[in-house]
Structure formats: C-alpha cells, structure tokens
C-alpha cells in the first residue's frame, strides 16, 4: 500500500472519529486537536512512513547481539582478574605458612602432632614369665590342660580342646597399655573387654567349682552362666560375685572410687568390712575408697559401657574425669594450668576421632577453656 493511500484512509478514520465525538456532545480539546491536525497533514505522515521504511529488525537484532557480547567479554575479564588476585593471595599465604613452620611456635607444634586413639593391642604374660606382644598378627599358642590360645586383631581366645582336671591353676596375665583396648575370651567362654591401662590376672583353665579373676583398671564382663561355679572379680577395694550377667567394673588405682555398673542379671559387691550390696539391672554402685561408703543409683548404662565400642559417652561428668579417660585412651599426660577447670561438667555422646586435637576442639565450643597439645602432653587453660 502506498503512503498516499495510507494518508487518505487515516484522514477518513480521523474525520469519522471527530464526527462521532461531536455527535455525542463532546468537545475536542487543545491536545486532541493538535494530534488531529498532524494526522491530517500529508507531509507529517509521509515523514513518519519514510522512517518506518528505514527500520530493519535484522539490524536491530545484530546491534543487540553485539552489546551482549561486549558485556560477556567484560564479565570474563573481571572473572580472570579475580582469579589472578586469588592465586596471588594463596601463594602469599602458602609462603607465609612455610615461614611459620620454621618458627618455633607452640601452636604450630601442637597441630603437627598426630596422636591417635586406642587400638587393639595388649601384652600376654604367661605363667613362666614369657611376654607375648599381641596386635594384628595372628598367633596360635598352646597351654597346659589341652588349652589352645588364638590371638589376632580381634582379641585373645582360650579354647579347651577336651575336658581335663588339674590340681593347681596356672595363671596368665593380660596387660592392656595406655592407648590400647583388647577383647579376652576366657576358657569358659566369658568375654572380657579391657580398657586402656588395665590388667587382668586369670587362670588358663577354671576349676570345676569356682571362677576367679583379678582386675586392676576397667573391664566389661559378659559372664557365661554356671550355677555350680560362681564368677568372682577381685579388686583392691573388694570383690564382685556373679552367676551369669553383663556388667562393667572401673577400679583404677589413681581414682577415688570403684564403680560397678550392672547391665543385666545380678551382682553382689563385698568390701570385706561393710554388709554386701546387691545390684539390680541399670543400677550403679560407687564405692568411695577413703571412707568405705557405698552409693547405689539408677543410671543410663550406655554412658558407662560405650567405651568398648570406641565411643565416649558421659552425663554430667567433670572435666577432670574426662581428661583422665582421654589420657589413658590416647596415652598422653594432662596438665591443668587452672585447677578450677577440673570441676567443669560436660554431657555428650561422641564417636572415636582419629586425632585428639579434633576431639578436644569440641569441648572448646561455647566454654571458656582451651587445650594445647605439645610433646604428648595436653595443657588445659582458660580461654582468652
């Protein structure tokens, strides 16, 4: 369609619109009148049409594309500049860290120490005095009375090949050092999990009417039931007698109390002076060595037996007692630079960590206490 035809048709349309407004009694305002005059002006309409002919959608698209490409190149340049800055910062930090390693700073020394938790290891002391180091290596040993000893990374087990009787018991001793744990299966099938820094003296083969062992340290017992032969655990503070049950005994010489926790069954504690005390399942006996007093309380037994599953669980435990446990578990010494920190109480259920530094960092959260590990010694002090 030619421009003059468009102009003629637009004039007709405008005239009709004006006539319609006048017929309705409406006046055409000043602004509306100016627009009408422009549409009636053939020269004005011609210029607008010429501009419309010059418009190219393709050219407009190409211009927009070029603008977007310029913006994209600008973003890439900014990203490369940022990456270059980060690289320079990392190089500076790395060089600074290497310089720090050379400097004799105690904090850097502490982080370099790799102190691992308890692992399966023990020393077997046989009746003739021979010492056998037990660990991951598999061993088969023979004892008198047709008893075969098998040891590997899972523990030490005594197996009686056939029923025999003997007039005198032959005792072995299992020593679990600091930083160690071990499982012992006695000749009657009783399973004993031994904690770090513990000793158990036991017969290679039990007699027909009694089963006695001597404990120093901490152990968890799963006793095979035998009514004809009571099972007795002797400690320096007293004896615990059972028929068939699961219980934990903690009797370290450097602690003020013997603690017995009953999981199931029934046990009896006798210190040789006071009346004996009988425990029910989920009860705990605390025997205070200094005054000979026995306290029985109801407890969550999981807090006191989780160590055999390589976990530390505690409820309202003082930092002093927790650090004693960690000192045995990780084979470290502990120094409290502020003795008042010993009374801090913690509750928690933590899995075994690969390094003591990771473990201690959890205790620093939300509490004004700091730990520094240096030369296998943990220094406990107040935070800044």
**Cα 155 from Cα 194, distance rounded (Å):** 10
**Cα 248 from Cα 194, distance rounded (Å):** 10
257 plus 352 within the same structural domain: no
Task: pLDDT tens for the chain, 384 residues: list them.
Answer: 544 555 566 566 656 666 665 565 555 566 656 666 665 666 665 565 555 444 444 454 455 446 555 655 555 455 555 545 454 444 444 443 343 333 233 333 334 467 777 788 899 998 888 898 888 788 887 776 667 788 877 888 887 655 555 545 789 999 999 999 999 999 899 999 999 999 999 999 888 788 999 999 999 999 999 888 899 999 999 999 987 799 999 999 989 999 999 999 999 999 999 999 999 999 999 999 999 999 999 999 988 999 988 888 888 889 999 999 999 999 999 999 999 999 998 888 777 766 788 888 888 887 889 999 998 999 999 987
- Contact yes or no for 239/269 (Cβ under 8 A): yes
182 plus 270 within the same structural domain: yes
CA dihedral for 113, 118, 119, 125, sign (positive or negative): positive
Q: Beta-carbon neighbour count of residue 290 at 10 Å?
A: 7
Decide if 289 is inside a domain: yes
215 plus 191 within the same structural domain: yes
Q: Beta-carbon neighbour count of residue 371 at 10 Å?
A: 20
**Cα 114 from Cα 376, distance rounded (Å):** 9
175 plus 265 within the same structural domain: yes
The residue from 275, 306, 337 where one domain ends is: 306
Q: How is residue 159 written in tokens?
A: 């197996």
DSSP alpha helix (H) spans, the chain: 3-23, 30-40, 42-54, 57-102, 106-112, 302-305, 319-330, 356-363
302 plus 315 within the same structural domain: no
- Contact yes or no for 301/282 (Cβ under 8 A): yes
Q: Quote the number of domains for the chain.
A: 4
Q: How is residue 324 written in tokens?
A: 């004693």
The residue from 306, 337, 364 where one domain ends is: 306
Q: Which domain holds residue 339?
A: 310-382
Decide if 113 is inside a domain: no
Task: Please state, in angstroms and as integers, the Cα–Cα distance from residue 50 to each residue in 4, 45, 264, 350, following that order.
Answer: 12, 9, 102, 83
Decide if 76 is inside a domain: yes
Q: How is residue 229 written in tokens?
A: 């032969």
Q: What is the DSSP letter of 121?
A: -
């Amino acid at each position: 369609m030619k421009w003059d035809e468009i102009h003629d048709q637009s004039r007709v349309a405008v005239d009709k619109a004006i006539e319609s407004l006048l017929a309705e009694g409406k006046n055409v305002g000043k602004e509306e009148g100016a627009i009408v005059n422009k549409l009636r002006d053939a020269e004005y309409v011609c210029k607008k049409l010429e501009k419309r002919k010059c418009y190219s959608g393709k050219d407009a698209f190409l211009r927009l594309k070029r603008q977007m490409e310029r913006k994209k190149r600008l973003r890439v340049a900014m990203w490369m500049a940022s990456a270059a800055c980060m690289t320079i910062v990392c190089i500076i930090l790395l060089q600074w860290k290497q310089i720090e390693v050379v400097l004799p700073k105690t904090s850097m020394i502490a982080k370099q120490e790799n102190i691992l938790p308890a692992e399966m290891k023990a020393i077997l002391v046989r009746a003739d005095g021979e010492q056998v180091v037990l660990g991951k290596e598999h061993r088969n040993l023979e004892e008198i009375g047709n008893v075969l000893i098998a040891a590997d990374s899972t523990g030490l087990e005594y197996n009686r090949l056939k029923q025999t009787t003997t007039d005198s018991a032959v005792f072995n001793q299992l020593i679990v050092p600091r930083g160690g744990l071990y499982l012992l299966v006695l000749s009657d099938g009783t399973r004993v999990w031994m904690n770090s820094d513990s000793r158990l003296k036991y017969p290679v083969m039990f007699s027909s009417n009694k089963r006695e062992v001597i404990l120093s340290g901490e152990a968890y017992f799963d006793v095979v039931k035998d009514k004809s032969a009571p099972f007795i655990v002797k400690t320096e503070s007293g004896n615990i007698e059972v028929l068939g049950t699961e219980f934990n005994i903690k009797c370290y010489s450097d602690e003020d109390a013997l603690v017995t926790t009953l999981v199931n069954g029934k046990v009896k504690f006798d210190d040789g002076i006071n009346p004996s005390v009988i425990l029910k399942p989920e009860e705990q006996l605390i025997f205070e060595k200094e005054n000979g007093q026995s306290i029985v309380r109801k407890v969550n037994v999981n807090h006191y037996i989780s160590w055999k599953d390589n976990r530390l669980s505690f409820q309202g435990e003082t930092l002093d007692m927790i650090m004693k446990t960690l000192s045995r578990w990780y084979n470290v010494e502990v120094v409290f630079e502020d003795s008042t920190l010993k009374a801090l109480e913690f509750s928690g259920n933590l899995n075994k960590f690969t390094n003591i530094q990771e473990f201690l960092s959890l205790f620093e959260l939300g509490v004004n206490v700091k730990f520094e590990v240096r030369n296998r010694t943990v220094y406990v002090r107040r935070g800044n």
